[in-house]
Amino acid sequence: MAISRILIANRGEIALRIHRAAHEMGIETVAVHSTADADAMHVRLADHAVCIGPPAAKDSYLNVAAIISAAEITQADAIHPGYGFLSENAKFAEIVEAHDLIWIGPKPEHIRTMGDKVEAKRTAGALGLPLVPGSDGAVESIEDAKKVAAEIGYPVLVKAASGGGGRGMKVVPDEEQLESLVSQAKSEARNAFGDDTVYLEKYLGNPRHIEFQVFGDGNGEAIHLGERDCSLQRRHQKVLEEATSPVISDTERDRMGGIVAKAMADMGYRGAGTIEFLWEDGEFYFIEMNTRLQVEHPVTEAITGVDLVREQIRIADGKPLSVKQDEIRFTGHAIECRINAEDPETFAPSPGLVTSYHAAGGMHVRVDSGLYAGYRIPPYYDSMIAKLIVYGRTREGCIMRLRRALEEMVIEGVKTSIPLHQKLLREPDFLSGDYSIKWLEEWLDRQKG
Ligand code: ADP
């Protein structure tokens, strides 16, 4: 069955990204949108558009019945969920398939397994991925927790099985505080996720966040597309990502990439996925797998030349992977800056009217954004309004080009994080590639002090 019309169950830059890949394949698109997004670029460019509800995401972009009806009314034959919203909702994937629509995503059972952190860790371990030392599954009692913590050594981290966005997570410095912090983590998890299952992990002091992009055809073939370094984070939110990582050698990429690709092949994984690791002192430790396209996927596209959305659509359509592992070359360096509508110092959101807009251009400069002059950024959704992705033959060249591109970007009427990126790109620690997941927050504290 050939896909001929894709409904894009998302908004903003990622909806545009999917629209572009689809049109380059000769496939029509259907945009869905809330009443707040009637004038959005993804709605303007799509071949068909359906309003699916009021501004609140739960009534529109998370409204399963409205999205399925929109697909039926417009005779779409496939649904791409983008990232966020319904992208990692196994039930939604099943509903899509039950309506004889093609789900452009992983098998629902894999989305479900990887969505539960305890299950994900067990699965990753069984597939041969290196884990953070910790409890074997959930901790059942405080005695159990004490025993595990003594074995792995303090500090330890209590994590919620259903966790996300860093909630239900507590660092425990010593045994004295274990009992109270475990019960705090449990009650936080119960309130946030309705599930108070927790597990223990060794707390790594100063790791980097390094993730591998993988792709499977669902029939036992899988490849990796190298790593991305996403260590620059604020409150667990990525701010800037780069590929390749300044600390991973070609040999190490091949070795670890080989391990993750084999794991995905053994699992029978279908579509795009990201395996996230913490990395410290030369060792990788699996933390979670994301069963979707990531915000930062363009840096991988820049250094491999593989269009990841096109690949997702092909695989959903039953075609084989378009590249074999030995055809993939990692060339040059790419960096992505996430540009948010927010105050660059206080991080307070800054929605509103964009009075003028000019996107950077030139060689190896890519801007993924739905912005235009006269667009009103709605206050209801994520504050990311653009991604600036720059490629260079070397990391140094890439940074110089990125600085030049940031000078050219004009977004007026709202505050943006552009000045933050400009400052970051002049920091000696960033220039030397010497930063961990703690670095950005410590740097921000120093800027204030
Ligand atoms: P979530 O789904 O809540 O984002 P993750 O497991 O991805 O949870 O962890 C979020 C962040 O917490 C990581 O990016 C890292 O910064 C930190 N973290 C997670 N596990 C550990 C660990 N064992 N040691 C130190 N930091 C950790």
Whether the pLDDT of residue 392 is over 90: the answer is yes
Question: Same structural domain for residues 420 and 276?
Answer: yes
- Alpha carbon nearest to ligand 1 atom 9, residue: 166
166 C-alpha to ligand 1 centroid (Å):
7
Whether the pLDDT of residue 119 is over 80: the answer is yes
Whether the pLDDT of residue 93 is over 70: the answer is yes
Question: Same structural domain for residues 343 and 241?
Answer: yes
53 C-alpha to ligand 1 centroid (Å):
35
In the structure, what pLDDT confidence band is assigned to residue 318 with cuts at 50, 70 and 90?
very high
- CA 209 to ligand 1: nearest atom: 14
Which one of 169, 198, 296 would you pick to mutate in the ligand 1 pocket, going by the greatest count of ligand atoms within 8 A of its CB?
169
The residues annotated as belonging to the active site are 292
* pLDDT for the residue numbered 236: 87
364 φ, ψ (degrees, to nearest 5): 60, 30
CA 37/CA 273 separation, integer angstroms? 29
> What domain range is 99 assigned to?
5-104
Question: Does residue 166 belong to any structural domain of this protein?
Answer: yes
Which residues lie across from 227 on neighbouring strands? Answer: 212
Question: Same structural domain for residues 403 and 432?
Answer: yes
- Alpha carbon nearest to ligand 1 atom 20, residue: 287
Question: Does residue 219 belong to any structural domain of this protein?
Answer: yes
Within 10 Å of residue 38's Cβ, how many Cβ atoms? 11
In the structure, what pLDDT confidence band is assigned to residue 434 with cuts at 50, 70 and 90?
very high
* pLDDT for the residue numbered 1: 62
CA 289/CA 277 separation, integer angstroms? 9
Any idea what the CATH number is for the domain that residue 175 is in? 3.30.1490.20
* pLDDT for the residue numbered 449: 74
- CA 205 to ligand 1: nearest atom: 25
Whether the pLDDT of residue 342 is over 70: the answer is yes
Convert the pLDDT of each residue in 196-250 to its tens digit: 999 999 999 999 999 999 999 999 999 999 999 999 999 889 999 999 999 999 9
What does the pLDDT average to over 67-91? Answer: 98
* pLDDT for the residue numbered 60: 98
Question: Does residue 274 belong to any structural domain of this protein?
Answer: yes
Does residue 155 have a cis bond before it (omega within 30 degrees)?
Answer: yes
CB of 208 shorter than 6 A to ligand 1: no
CB of 130 shorter than 6 A to ligand 1: no
224 close to 325: Cβ distance less than 8 angstroms: yes
Residue whose tokens read 């933390």:
287
11 C-alpha to ligand 1 centroid (Å):
27
In the structure, what pLDDT confidence band is assigned to residue 448 with cuts at 50, 70 and 90?
confident
CB of 203 shorter than 6 A to ligand 1: yes
164 C-alpha to ligand 1 centroid (Å):
9
146 close to 178: Cβ distance less than 8 angstroms: yes
398 close to 336: Cβ distance less than 8 angstroms: no
71 close to 101: Cβ distance less than 8 angstroms: yes
Any idea what the CATH number is for the domain that residue 90 is in? 3.40.50.20
* pLDDT for the residue numbered 356: 98
Calculate what percentage of the chain has a pLDDT beyond 70.
100
Question: Same structural domain for residues 193 and 93?
Answer: no
Question: Same structural domain for residues 41 and 155?
Answer: no
What does the pLDDT average to over 312-324? Answer: 98
- CA 437 to ligand 1: nearest atom: 16
* pLDDT for the residue numbered 425: 98
Domain-terminating residue out of 150, 175, 202: 202
What does the pLDDT average to over 20-39? Answer: 98
What does the pLDDT average to over 275-298? Answer: 97
Question: Same structural domain for residues 246 and 364?
Answer: yes
- Alpha carbon nearest to ligand 1 atom 13, residue: 236
277 C-alpha to ligand 1 centroid (Å):
9
Question: Same structural domain for residues 288 and 367?
Answer: yes
Count structural domains, the chain: 3
Q: What rounded mean pLDDT belongs to the chain? A: 96
Convert the pLDDT of each residue in 153-192 to its tens digit: 999 999 998 887 777 799 999 999 999 999 999 999 999 8
